[in-house]
Amino acid sequence: MAVKEVFPGVYKIGGLLATRNITPGRRAYTEGLETEDGIEYRMWNPYRSKLAAAILNGLKHFAFDERSSVLYIGAATGTTASHISDIAKNGSLYCIELSERNMRELVRVCEMRGNMLPILADARYPDRYADTVEQCDIIYQDASAREQAQMLKANARFLKRSGIAYFVIKSQSADVSKDPKIVFKRELELLSDEFDLLQTVALEPFDRLHMFAVLRKR
């Protein structure tokens, strides 16, 4: 089956997304493994990863490469983070997660992958992990919180100038009473003094209540 690289470290195999597995023979969750020309790939499910959904839906600004340093806010159990780990195989991935239950599974994933560091913390208070996180090329935020834009602004201190932020806006977490489009617009406006908006990507049919935004720090 033909393998096509669509972004650095991101591949399509038979129309499906995949990343090259840096831990051959081992899964991070329940993903399928495919071997082509002696190389093992992990299939990337867009229904379980908003980054994969955004790629399939026309993401244009892809800043990740094999040496990227990434602050991942809301890493949950490590599904998307593990694929970023494959892409940034020689980089570093700081995984912030608030839930102790999720952290137990995230730690298991990180133990397999030398470029992932799990950090149990509330991302609203970045001072608590400021001694651990270095300046990063990328922030990826997918956190269930009411004040999502404020959380990203608080963590922008870790993002290099002209660095890229991938911001998953969760309308139901921000304000369940308002139309998602109103919530998306409000959250982006709150960031306009510090970030330039490069692109927004709707995630349907993979996800209907989130907006994926790409921003560049001024």
pLDDT per position as a tens digit, 163-172: 999 999 987 6
pLDDT per position as a tens digit, 29-75: 999 999 999 999 999 999 999 999 999 999 999 999 999 999 999 99
Q: 27 phi and psi, to 5 degrees?
A: -100, 150
Give the three-class secondary structure for 109: helix
The pLDDT of residue 174 is above 60: no
The confidence score (pLDDT) of residue 144 equals: 86
Q: Rounded to whole angstroms, how far apart are CA atoms 11 and 19? A: 6
Q: What does DSSP assign to residue 126?
A: G
Give the three-class secondary structure for 11: strand
The pLDDT of residue 12 is above 90: yes
pLDDT per position as a tens digit, 91-122: 999 999 999 999 999 999 999 999 999 999 99
The confidence score (pLDDT) of residue 172 equals: 64
Residue written as tokens 């989130």? 210
Q: Rounded to whole angstroms, how far apart are CA atoms 202 and 51? A: 11
What single string gives the DSSP state of each residue in 179-206?
A: -HHHHHHHHHHHTTTTEEEEEEEE-TTT
pLDDT per position as a tens digit, 179-207: 777 888 899 999 999 999 999 999 999 99
The confidence score (pLDDT) of residue 24 equals: 97
Average pLDDT over residues 19-33: 97
> Which residues are CB-contacts of 2 (< 8 A; sequence separation ≥ 6)?
13, 14
Average pLDDT over residues 8-36: 96
The confidence score (pLDDT) of residue 176 equals: 62
Kindly report the pTM of this predicted structure. 0.94
The confidence score (pLDDT) of residue 143 equals: 94
The pLDDT of residue 173 is above 60: no
- Pairing relationship of beta strands 33-36 and 3-7 according to DSSP bridges: unpaired
Q: Does domain 48-217 have CATH number 3.40.50.150?
A: yes
pLDDT per position as a tens digit, 137-153: 999 999 988 889 999 99
The whole-chain average pLDDT of the chain stands at 95
pLDDT band at 175 (very low <50, low <70, confident <90, very high): low
